[in-house]
C-alpha cells in the first residue's frame, strides 16, 4: 500500500505542514482513527495544528477518495487510509479495535436490488478480539 503522504504528493496536493502531519498520523495498514484521535496525535507532533484544520483536511481527503469514512460501534466516524485495496472491517465490540480484512465481497442477488444501482459494499464483522475474549473469561471465573 502506497503511504497517504506519497499519494498526496503524486496528486500534487498542497502539503502544508499541518496537512502533512495529519497525513503522517494516518499512515499504517490498520489505522482507523476518529477525528479527535487524529487531532491529538497531530498536535503532539505539531502543536499549532487546529481541530478545524483536522476536520477540513479529513473531509477533503474523503472527498478526494484518499480516505474511507467508516462507521464505528462507538458512533464516531473513523478514517481509513487503505483505499487502494477493497476490504471490509473486523471490529471488536468491546474495546473498539478495528482491522482491515480482505474477503470476497458478498453478492446482492439481482432480485434483491429493487432497481437500485449498486455502487459498493461496506461490511463490518462484529466480534470480540482475543484480548477481550480473555477478559470476559477471567471476569466469568471471578464471579464463580
Instruction: Check whether 95 is labelled as a binding-site residue.
Output: yes
Instruction: Check whether 67 is labelled as a binding-site residue.
Output: no
How far apart are the C-alpha atoms of 37 and 53, rounded to whole Å?
14
Instruction: Check whether 92 is labelled as a binding-site residue.
Output: yes
* 85 secondary structure, DSSP code: S
How far apart are the C-alpha atoms of 11 and 53, rounded to whole Å?
20
Instruction: Check whether 132 is labelled as a binding-site residue.
Output: yes
Beta bridge partners, 68, equal 80
CB 27 within 8 A of CB 51: no
Known binding residues are 92, 95, 129, 132
Known binding residues for Zn(2+) are 92, 95, 129, 132
Amino acid at each position: 500500500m502506497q503511504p497517504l503522504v506519497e499519494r498526496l504528493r503524486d496528486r500534487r496536493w498542497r502539503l502544508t505542514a499541518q496537512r502533512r502531519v495529519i497525513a503522517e498520523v494516518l499512515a499504517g495498514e490498520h489505522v482507523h482513527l476518529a477525528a479527535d484521535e487524529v487531532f491529538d496525535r497531530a498536535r503532539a507532533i505539531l502543536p499549532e495544528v487546529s481541530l478545524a484544520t483536522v476536520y477540513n483536511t479529513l473531509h477533503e481527503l474523503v472527498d478526494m477518495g484518499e480516505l474511507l469514512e467508516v462507521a464505528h460501534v462507538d458512533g464516531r466516524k473513523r478514517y481509513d487510509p487503505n483505499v487502494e485495496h477493497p476490504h471490509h472491517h473486523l471490529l471488536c465490540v468491546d474495546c473498539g479495535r478495528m482491522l482491515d480484512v480482505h474477503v470476497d465481497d458478498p453478492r446482492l442477488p439481482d432480485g434483491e436490488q429493487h432497481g437500485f444501482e449498486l455502487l459498493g459494499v461496506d461490511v463490518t464483522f462484529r466480534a470480540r478480539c482475543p484480548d477481550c475474549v480473555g477478559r470476559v473469561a477471567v471476569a466469568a471465573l471471578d464471579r464463580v
